[in-house]
Every structure is written in C-alpha cells, then in structure tokens.
Chains A and B, each alone.
Chain A
Amino acid sequence: QKEVEQNSGPLSVPEGAIASLNCTYSDRGSQSFFWYRQYSGKSPELIMFIYSNGDKEDGRFTAQLNKASQYVSLLIRDSQPSDSATYLCAVFMDSNYQLIWGAGTKLIIKP
C-alpha cells in the first residue's frame, strides 16, 4: 500500500458543477495535509493547507479531513475550465519526517 494514494483520473466534470477529489493516507498520526494544483509544464501551486482539526474553506475550494477513515478531500464548487489541472495531495508523515506526495489526479472541466 502506498503511503498517499490518489485516483489518477482523469476526472471529468461539467462546468459549474462540484468537483470532488480524494486522497487516502497510511500514517494515522499525520497532522498536516496539503493540496496543490499543477498546470501542465508548470510547478505545483499551493491551494489549501489543513492542520489536523477539520475542514477549511477558501473561496470556491473546501478541504475536508476525515481522520477516522484516513482520507482528505478537496471540493471545488462552480468548476471553471481554468480549474483543469492535476491536483496533488501531500501529507506530512511524522513517522519519517517527510512530506509524502500522491501521484495526482487529473481534473478536466468540460465547458
């Protein structure tokens, strides 16, 4: 089992709908969770950071943490074509003091 897992996609969502991206992690003691967006040929850009204690909302983006089931999700409301990108989940693993990355989910927003 990989330490951080994401569905590679592509996930296709119509414009204006809610896009839901998920990420599972193996280290139950993890407390820091990150979502990055990466456009093709560009470097990852931080979207959300949540620390241990639940949901966080920033504009159209909401990050939700379920510690019992060990997954973190990213919801994008009112999806726009410009949201089409690869979304990377990263989890800080206290067990090896390292930020572990998922392979990313490719999201396509269809006009």
Chain B
Amino acid sequence: KAGVTQTPRYLIKTRGQQVTLSCSPISGHRSVSWYQQTPGQGLQFLFEYFSETQRNKGNFPGRFSGRQFSNSRSEMNVSTLELGDSALYLCASSVQGKNTEAFFGQGTRLTVV
C-alpha cells in the first residue's frame, strides 16, 4: 500500500510569489491535514479537509488556503510569500480524522528568498 505522497519535495521561491503544494493520501483515507513545521515553533496546524470540505482551520492568515478533490488528493496554496513562510510543510492522512491514526508524507521543504 503506497504511503502519503507530497510533491514537490523541495521548492525555492521569491518573496511575493505564490506556491502550490500537493498531497496524495493513502488509498481509502478521506482526511488530509496540513502542518507547518519550523525549528522554533514545532508542528503548527494549518487546516484539515474531509470529503472535499474544510473541517478545521488553524490560526494562519488568509494567504494560506487549501482544497481537497473528490479523489481525496489535497493541495495547499500560499500567496504573496514572505521570508517567514520558509518551513517544512507536512501533510498527514487518516481514514476519518477523529480517533484514527494519521500518517505523514515526507514533506515539502519551502525556502523563500
């Protein structure tokens, strides 16, 4: 069974640009959550999608958005990139989110210059 796949693995962008990251969950998993991880802040929750609906959202500005498709694949978009957006972006999939194990992808390392 294939694991969670995130693309791309590495990305370098310039301030002010926008970026789209992709996450393909484990087959049969309908919940996809996105996290930002930086050395000083740990894992910060961005949002969770379940059956194409955003079910929960963390405390990030509106520049961060996401969506989920009917095949459960998810994308997140960051517009007007800032230097502080440089981080490891992780997605995790689970069967239904609540009370079920979440499995992480390898992450996308975003560097904003």
- B45-75: contact bitstring with A at CB < 8 Å (1 yes, 0 no)? 1001000000110000000000000000000
Most chain-B Cβ atoms within 10 A of its Cβ — which of A34, A36, A98? Answer: A98
Q: Is the CB of B104 within 8 A of A44?
A: yes
Q: Is the CB of B104 within 8 A of A101?
A: no
Taking the closest CB of chain B, its distance from the CB of A32, in whole angstroms, is: 4
Tally of contact residues, A, Cβ under 8 A: 22
Taking the closest CB of chain A, its distance from the CB of B35, in whole angstroms, is: 8
- A97-111: contact bitstring with B at CB < 8 Å (1 yes, 0 no)? 111011110000000
Taking beta carbons and an 8 Å cutoff, which residues of A are in contact with B? Answer: 31-32, 34, 36, 42-46, 49, 51, 88, 90, 92, 96-99, 101-104
- B87-113: contact bitstring with A at CB < 8 Å (1 yes, 0 no)? 010100000011111111111000000
Taking the closest CB of chain B, its distance from the CB of A100, in whole angstroms, is: 8
Q: Which residue of A lies closest to B41 (CB)?
A: A103
Question: Does B42 sit at the interface, judged by CB under 8 A?
Answer: yes
Q: Is the CB of B42 within 8 A of A92?
A: no
Pull 5 A–B residue pairs with CB atoms less than 8 Å apart, ordered by A.
A32-B98, A43-B90, A43-B105, A45-B104, A102-B42
